[in-house]
Amino acid sequence: MAQYDYDLFTIGAGSGGVRASRVAASFGAKAAVAEERYLGGTCVNVGCIPKKLLVYASHYSEDFNDAAGFGWTVGERRFDWAKLIANKNKEISRLNGVYRKLLGDSGVTILEGHAEMIDSHTVAVDGKKFTAKYILVAVGGWPMVPDIPGAEHAVTSNEAFYWPSLPEKVIIVGGGYIGVEFAGIFHGLGAHTTLLYRRELFLRGFDDDIRLTLADEMRKRGVDLRFKSDIRSIDRAGDLLKATLTDGSMIEADQILYATGREPKTRELGLDRAGVALKPNGAVAVDEYSKSSVDNIYAIGDCTDRMMLTPVAIAEGMAVANTLFNNKPLRPNYLNVPTAIFSTPNCATVGLTEQEARQANLKIDIYKTSFRPLKHTLTGRDERTMMKLVVDQSSDRVLGCHMVGPDAGEIIQGLAVALNCGATKAQLDATVGIHPTAAEEFVTMRSKVA
């Protein structure tokens, strides 16, 4: 008789938890996953996928306007928010089904309900107990709203994906990628959009040239960016919300969306009963193999507060499955992880920023270009694309690539491969570009700017 009900019990059926469970099952482990909300987690339901669908929708306003420069006459147009959300919901429902089938076909048991730890080897799902040799915590994170007067009138990105109607005026609070992306979405769909951020410039942690370029491009489009600004309190006046800012001024909106960060969703999991150590912010403390303070309990993804990206959670899940069930201990590789911001225009980056390289006392060369995309020579749109390379002087290795412009994520993905292969600036220079493309600029930059 088996000592445990399962070899691996995963709490959370997001991208990381699902991948870990499926890979473990492929290695012969008896696996189960518990989920109290929706299969696919944040990314599929209220994150990456629906967000990018809304980004696509928002770009049509510019595309319609740009068409005239190419000889097209565009007739009367009208945007239907309810139709967009209904179509989005249909696609998310399809993806939920895909995740269910993937787990089922892999032989993973799905338990729908709230899971909590009873002890280090026992999990209860809505009161029913299960034992497991290993337990994996993959519950992700949850958006936060600060405790200010009137905070109950604000929403987060979770709710914004299901608004019954598009607000005429919206205030977004927060300078991370979520706030920046939603600012582009709502502005593109026709809402008067104000973005507030309490520091001097948004997108802290990204290269300064990305931050400055994107701010300039968003302001050109008419987004009301207000840095060194925050909300002190919110009051409701009929259908309107009145936000009093820290400088004493007041602005009105139909909706106020907070994108000021996410916290690990580790509360009400009973982790204390199992002896799992948490960081001050509630994140599960793990070692380089994603093992918690308890030998048989692991944690991956956003609830560990390491690198909060879906592909990273998936890589962490695969590493745990290999470590535990394939006799192949693996540590996730966090070096040169590319990331994109689906702002308007897009941004993407991989490797070191100029600021990080200088803080590390590296001797570097900087190559940078800014140009008007070919498309806009006919549209007349005042838009600039920015590309930048950070190069180590002693080895000629490319340490970082940064871009603001259309399809930035698609372009930087390929450069991420090059960086992980140790590409040098000379090798980029020796690469023949594809003409005419924006991407060719990365292999034709010859003049150092710093």
What is the edge-to-edge ordering of all strands in the sheet holding 155-156? 155-156, 255-258, 169-173, 192-197, 224-227
* Beta strand 155-156 pairing with 255-258: parallel
Q: Is position 435 annotated as part of the catalytic site?
A: yes
The answer to whether the CB of 55 falls within 8 A of the CB of 187 is: no
The Cα 13–Cα 2 span in angstroms is 25
Which DSSP string do the residues of 91-133 spell out, in sequence order? HHHHHHHHHHHHHHHTTPEEEES-EEEEETTEEEETTEEEEEE
Gap between the Cα atoms of 374 and 179, Å rounded? 29
Whether residue 315 contacts residue 14, with contact meaning beta carbons closer than 8 Å, is answered with no
Let me know: does 96 contact 41? Beta carbons within 8 Å.
no
Q: For strand 128-137 and strand 6-11, is the pairing parallel, antiparallel, or unpaired?
A: parallel
- Which one is catalytic: 59, 187, 376, 435? 435
Residue indicated by tokens 């093992």: 291
* DSSP three-state, residue 243: strand
Catalytic residues: 435
